[in-house]
Copies of this chain bind each other. A is one copy, B any other.
Amino acid sequence: MSLPHPTTDQISLPIVLAVLGDPTRLAIVRYLASKEGVPLNCSKFLDLASKTNLSYHLAKLREAGVTRSEAVGTSRLITLRRDDLDKRFPGLLDSVIAAADGDKALPMVGTSEVELST
């Protein structure tokens, strides 16, 4: 690990809700959930926002305890903190993701992508 992350019991409900209440961040979380176990780097999300802006949103997610970011070489490997979130707020993440999956109006990662190899 490298960047500051809250411990599990420091994760705050209103902060998590507010952080998920942004369409860009919700799209990031959905995509992470759909690729669970696979650590992704920021470039996966470049169709959602600019590099700088992504850095901002990914920091918000990390600081809220929703994601974990590890520095590996020049990349950040980003994962969902599912175990921690499930421990702290049982059922919350699943219901948010299920609700998001049912919402056609939300932005999505990969929607305008050419699906290049890796």
Hey, which bits of chain A sit against chain B, CB under 8 A? Answer: 12-23, 26, 88-92, 94-96, 98-100, 103, 105-106
Q: Is the CB of A20 within 8 A of B23?
A: no
Given A20-B17, A26-B14, check contact A99 B89 (CB 8 Å). Answer: yes
- Identical chains in the assembly: 2
Q: Are B91 and A94 in contact (CB under 8 A)?
A: yes
Rounded to whole angstroms, the CA-CA distance of A15 and B26 in the bound complex is 11
A16 to B99, CA, bound (A): 11
In the complex, the answer to whether B106 meets A13 with C-beta atoms within 8 Å is yes
The answer, among B21, B91, B103, for a CB contact under 8 Å with A91, is B91
Query: Which residues from chain B contact A13 at a C-beta distance below 8 Å?
Result: 26, 96, 99-100, 103, 106
CB distance from A101 to the nearest CB of B (A): 10
